[in-house]
A = this chain, B = another copy of it.
């Protein structure tokens, strides 16, 4: 089973991620990507992607990036900066492990709106994940 197949299976087992349409599209050691094609019911009152969905993307892609190096994790802390309205029909979330310790994995993520003319950075954030089964070595 590849890392991407493993994340895809985890994602399929999460009802909210499945309902929202989160789709893992990349997984390598310390990195993960999720794509999302938006729908009317993911919107806020202004028609943009709801901040809860944006935060869910940050948290989820950070967790997936952490899982590629640390196995099962739970989120301890997640913070998101909203740079621009999340408009448009497609989004990609890119997560990355900054530092993987035995007891904590530090990650960051960026959320881009994707269109034919390119990508626009709409949000960024960071998350601290705690491995469920700490590795035996230092960290």
Residues of A within 8 A of B (CB): 10, 13-20, 40-45, 50-53, 55-57, 59-60, 63, 74-85, 98-99, 101, 103-104, 106, 108, 121, 124, 126, 128, 130
**Contact present for B128 and A76 (CB under 8 Å):** yes
Q: Which residues of B contact A85 (CB under 8 A)?
A: 74
Give the copy number: 4
Name the contact of A81 in the complex, choosing from B53, B103, B126 (C-beta under 8 A): B126
**Contact present for B52 and A20 (CB under 8 Å):** yes
Q: Which residues of B contact A53 (CB under 8 A)?
A: 16, 52, 56
Greatest chain B CB density within 10 A among A45, A59, A128 is at A45
Known contacts A82-B74, A82-B77; is-contact A56 B45 (Cβ 8 Å): no
